[in-house]
Structure 1
Amino acid sequence: MNTPRKAPLLVRWTLQLEESQALDAPVRALEPGIRNIFGTGVRGSVLRGDLLGHSLHPVLTDIALGTWTSASLLDLTGGRDSSAAAQRLVGAGLLAAGPTAWTGWAEWSLAGPAAKRVGLVHAAANGVAISVYAASWLARRRGRHGTGVRLAVAGAAISTVGGYLGGHLAQGRKVGSRHPAFDEATPKVGRNGGDDSWG
């Protein structure tokens, strides 16, 4: 694949990731189990959000990332006085992380090869971020507020990488479940979605 030289560095890196055949072996190893656990039958339909008409995954990512971001805002503005509330928010994000990952795996099970490669790295980054946030929660629980804050900042940095790749899949590559009715009645939108006329 010829990557445009004038494209931003992140774009070039993401395009190279899509073409990275080194990821094919772990994809092949994971694919059957992921499909069986998350991608088939009623469970797969529910996790993909078929009843909603579009993917459930982005909705749940907002919950996890929103609670973690809120915890960091409390850390920055409230200090130790907000420590208990920040710990609860980190914990809430961890509780939301499981269902969020399940819905992501359900979408991944139906994606094409390039999207599976990117999705695998997306999932790995998020898995590391979840581990770091879990360490932050434990540190806070043990009274090590400063360590908990620093770990949350690290978790935010790592989850930003995962979020970028997730955004690429959802926006750049349009990976995600959607009802066919949305394809049959497609609005004519401008580059930033400003025109809501229908065609």
Structure 2
Amino acid sequence: MLDPAVRALSPVAGALIGSEERRRLLQGDWLGHAIHPLLTDLPLGLWTSASVLDLVGGKDSRPAARRLVGLGVLSAAPTAITGWAEWGSIPRRPEQRVGVVHAVGNAAAVVGYAASWQARRRGEHGRGRNLALGAAIVAAAAGYLGAHLNEVREVASEHPAFE
């Protein structure tokens, strides 16, 4: 069922990685550590902070929550790019399938947060809060799959120094 998506996305990921230099940059070789897991902390942290403000910050915190949601959406782009660079190097089809579901879930979360930002911008804070909370649930499920790939399936870039 997911094999057509894997086949369609493989050339896209291959083009993203492109050259050895680009692959090394996007996978974090220069850092000695996969960069994608580090970047996930940025959108997730921004969105979590917005939810905390939504739940306990009161009306005065609404502009800050809106900005945090928007910054999280913007920071999702480099996070996704590095994720696709990681996915492009996965050698096994079962893990590629899990990676596709992980990416689709994250894309759905980003769409939910973008809708939350738009609702907040129109002054519909309650709707924006609810959209963000729903997107948080989707992001958590997608994040679970990402952690599963890393920890259980042992899929991640590895710096040669650690081999």
Q: TM-score, normalised by structure 2?
A: 0.96
Residue 151 of structure 1 corresponds to 131
- 2:69 maps to a residue whose letter is V
**d(CA) in 2 for partners of 1:178, 1:121:** 23
- 2:16 maps to a residue whose letter is I
CA RMSD of aligned residues (A): 1.0
Residue 33 of structure 1 corresponds to 12
2:156 is paired with a residue whose SS is coil
1:93-132 maps to which residues of 2 (within 5 A)? 93-111=72-90, 112-132=92-112
Residue 180 of structure 1 corresponds to 160
1:154-173 maps to which residues of 2 (within 5 A)? 154-173=134-153
The answer to whether the Cα contact below 8 Å between 1:54 and 1:176 also exists between their aligned partners in 2 is no
**d(CA) in 1 for partners of 2:147, 2:128:** 27
Which ranges in structure 1 are unaligned for 5 or more consecutive residues? Answer: 1-21, 184-199
Aligned length: 162
**d(CA) in 1 for partners of 2:18, 2:104:** 19
**d(CA) in 2 for partners of 1:107, 1:161:** 19
- 2:37 maps to a residue whose letter is P
1:110 is paired with a residue whose SS is coil
**d(CA) in 2 for partners of 1:106, 1:37:** 7
- 2:9 maps to a residue whose letter is L
Which ranges in structure 2 are unaligned for 5 or more consecutive residues? Answer: none
1:102 is paired with a residue whose SS is helix
Percent identity between matched residues is 55
The answer to whether the Cα contact below 8 Å between 1:139 and 1:148 also exists between their aligned partners in 2 is yes
The answer to whether the Cα contact below 8 Å between 1:39 and 1:45 also exists between their aligned partners in 2 is no
**d(CA) in 2 for partners of 1:40, 1:125:** 28
More helix by share: 2
- 2:35 maps to a residue whose letter is L
The answer to whether the Cα contact below 8 Å between 1:87 and 1:140 also exists between their aligned partners in 2 is yes
Residue 81 of structure 1 corresponds to 60
**d(CA) in 1 for partners of 2:58, 2:14:** 44
Q: CA deviation at 1:67?
A: 0.5
Q: CA deviation at 1:39?
A: 5.3
